[in-house]
Amino acid sequence: MSTATAIAHPNIALVKYWGKRDSELNLPATGSLSMTLDIFPTTTTVTVDGTATTDVLVFGDEERSDGPAVRVSRFLDIVRELAGSDRRARVETVNTVPSAAGLASSASGFAALAVAASAAYGLDLDARELSRLARRGSGSASRSIIPGFAVWHAGESDETSYAEAIDAPDLAMVVAMVEKREKPISSREAMRRTILTSPFYPAWVSSTAESLEAAAEASRAGDVERLGRITEVNASRMHALIQSCDPPIRYLTPVSVEIFDRVAALRASGVGAWATADAGPNVVVLTRPDDVPAVTAALEGLAELAVARPGPAAALVSRTNG
């Protein structure tokens, strides 16, 4: 038996990934830019067992056989193909981020799984190969392999679509957890609906590609104001795009919108703060570390808050090959 344990953290995109050009390889329509957080880690242990006849997924203390188990097993098939193995595995994963609440649990989940599974199957992958592998599980997971700020290149192919680190100014994020329940429509399904039904999708793709270039330039130059502005505009465009589906999808709740308003009011009072949100009602506020107290004071009472700073790379914690 071989076993490996890995830890990975979620990431929040400043320039979002929304739409695939190849859903088999999980190649995105555009590149994206994110910050890996130092909170809400996922810890995953993969044990490769020569005698087992099926893969087993234990999520928290619950053994699963539904959608997530199928997705994990398909991911393991990719790892098995790389490793030339047909052995099944037991996957035990513990998430500290509220699952499927739009806080990128699939990002930390598949990043931890990519690191643990590749090690348990005896592969020795570098960061780029791990990022490409994690991408196959969930697009945003490609970025959780990387510490701090990362750009996921849209790339031309499987080989060239991976995330890598980018220089960035000193920043923090205030995570406002509006709701912790499971979201009604997964981002995967909502992306599909967007591509099929929104007349605005082509404009989203072209404007996001431009925003990514501008954001990467602002990040390298340490221009917090410009990076912040691009972040809020890009998130607002993504949610407008999602609302333009048929039938429409709306992830933001009145409380989420209230948070966007309070952040705008903070900016009007001179505090550098910019809001973003993924496919769920939670809102994340990008700010300078010194301005975190002003942001948390402004959001007091609206939602449960957590403060994040740039986090570490996905990492192998232990490995025993037998």
Give the footprint of ligand DP6 on this chain (CB under 6 A). 13, 16-18, 26, 32, 104, 106, 138-140, 187-188, 278-279
| Closer CB to ligand DP6, 195 or 294, in the complex | 195
276 sits in which H/E element? strand 273-276
Q: Closest approach of Cβ 269 to ligand DP6, in Å?
A: 29
| Closer CB to ligand DP6, 24 or 124, in the complex | 24
Nearest 5°: phi and psi at 248?
-65, 150
Q: Could you count the other beta carbons within 10 Å of the beta carbon of residue 7? A: 20
**CB-CB contact of 137 with 168 (8 Å):** no
**CB-CB contact of 74 with 81 (8 Å):** no
| CB half-sphere exposure, 83, CA atoms < 13 A | 22
In angstroms, what is the C-alpha Rg of the chain?
19
| Closer CB to ligand DP6, 116 or 284, in the complex | 284
| CB half-sphere exposure, 191, CA atoms < 13 A | 21
Select from 118, 117, 35 the least CA-distant residue to 312: 35
Positive or negative CA dihedral for 176, 148, 189, 19? positive
Q: Closest approach of Cβ 189 to ligand DP6, in Å?
A: 9
Non-local (6+) Cβ contacts of 289 within 8 A are 170, 171, 172, 309
Q: Closest approach of Cβ 151 to ligand DP6, in Å?
A: 11
Q: Closest approach of Cβ 175 to ligand DP6, in Å?
A: 13
| Closer CB to ligand DP6, 5 or 194, in the complex | 194
Q: Closest approach of Cβ 301 to ligand DP6, in Å?
A: 26
Q: Closest approach of Cβ 121 to ligand DP6, in Å?
A: 22
| Closer CB to ligand DP6, 277 or 298, in the complex | 277
| Closer CB to ligand DP6, 47 or 276, in the complex | 276
| Closer CB to ligand DP6, 23 or 96, in the complex | 23
Q: Closest approach of Cβ 149 to ligand DP6, in Å?
A: 13
As a whole number of angstroms, the distance between CA 122 and CA 135 comes to 20
**CB-CB contact of 291 with 258 (8 Å):** no
